[in-house]
């Protein structure tokens, strides 16, 4: 009896291992038949949203602390040299919260740009190229295009409206011409809409690209 039981135990153990293997194979996710198991989150838009949320939240405390230090330092200097009476604290508070929102948006769009280009150096190069070519050369050559450029709209967002100048040239009786600067204004509403549309377009483009890429 002991010899028969000792021979039966290995056979019983082998049957159990085969049964366990069959159960494991029956629970494999789709696509595992080719020998590749999914090691990533299938809900890619949820992952994308989490990355953007983290990127937007990161700069917020840094910006808030820096603004608090700068505002407090300015208050101490003004109070020491003169008086803080009549200081537009509501205006400063508005600039502060809009700057914090801008910092969050910058972090979010930086994450989107990094995901689209896949290289930090490429993102920095693209930003520098935009500043030099578009904001520098194009803005000077085509002054009427300034309301549709990023720099002026960011300035208008932070300061709740911004001014810019356009040269208005007329011909002179002697055959020459003379120019004068005309002051124009970009409204806060225009800038808020402009920045919101740009941010939404980049986030949507990033989502489409992210959804089609393999996550490794």
Domain range summary for the chain, segments of one domain joined by +: 44-212
Q: What is the per-residue DSSP string for 105-144?
A: HHHHHHHHHHHHHS-HHHHHHHHHHIIIIIIIIIHHH-GG
CB 38 within 8 A of CB 32: yes
- The pLDDT of 114-137, averaged and rounded, is 85
pTM summary value: 0.70
Higher pLDDT among residues 48 and 3, named by residue: 48
- The pLDDT of 13-17, averaged and rounded, is 60
- The pLDDT of 159-178, averaged and rounded, is 83
Half-sphere exposure of 205 (CA within 13 A, CB side): 14
Tens of pLDDT, residue by residue over 47-97, are 888 889 999 999 999 999 999 998 888 778 877 777 666 667 788 888 999
Specify the pLDDT at position 213. Answer: 75
Exposure of 192 by Cβ count < 10 A (0-12 exposed, 13-18 middle, 19+ buried)?
A: middle
- Residue 44, C-beta contacts closer than 8 angstroms, at least 6 positions apart: 210, 211, 215
- Cα 33 to its chain centre, rounded Å, is 39
Q: Where are the beta strands (DSSP E) in the chain?
A: 162-171, 177-186
Higher pLDDT among residues 175 and 91, named by residue: 91
For the record, the structure tokens of 80 come out as: 């020491």
Tens of pLDDT, residue by residue over 110-124, are 888 888 888 777 878
Specify the pLDDT at position 149. Answer: 92
CB 123 within 8 A of CB 63: no
């Amino acid at each position: 009896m002991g010899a028969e039981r000792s021979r039966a135990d290995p056979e019983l153990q082998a049957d159990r291992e085969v049964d366990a293997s069959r159960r494991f194979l029956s629970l494999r996710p789709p696509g595992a038949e080719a020998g590749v198991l999914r090691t990533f989150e299938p809900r890619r838009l949820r992952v994308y949203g989490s990355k953007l949320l983290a990127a937007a939240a990161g700069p917020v405390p840094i910006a808030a602390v820096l603004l608090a230090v700068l505002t407090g330092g300015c208050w101490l200097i003004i109070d020491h040299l003169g008086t803080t009476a009549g200081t537009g604290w509501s205006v400063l508070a508005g600039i502060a919260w809009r700057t914090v929102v801008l910092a969050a948006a910058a972090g979010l769009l930086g994450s989107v740009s990094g995901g689209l280009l896949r290289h930090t150096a490429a993102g920095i190069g693209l930003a520098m190229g935009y500043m030099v070519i578009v904001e520098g050369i194009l803005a000077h050559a085509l002054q009427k295009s300034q309301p549709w450029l990023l720099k002026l709209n960011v300035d208008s967002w932070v300061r709740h409206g911004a001014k810019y100048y356009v040269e208005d040239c007329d011909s002179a009786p002697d055959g020459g011409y003379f120019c004068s600067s005309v002051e124009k204004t970009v409204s806060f509403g225009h800038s808020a809409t402009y920045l919101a549309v740009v941010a939404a377009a980049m986030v949507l483009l990033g989502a489409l690209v992210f959804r089609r890429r393999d996550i490794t």
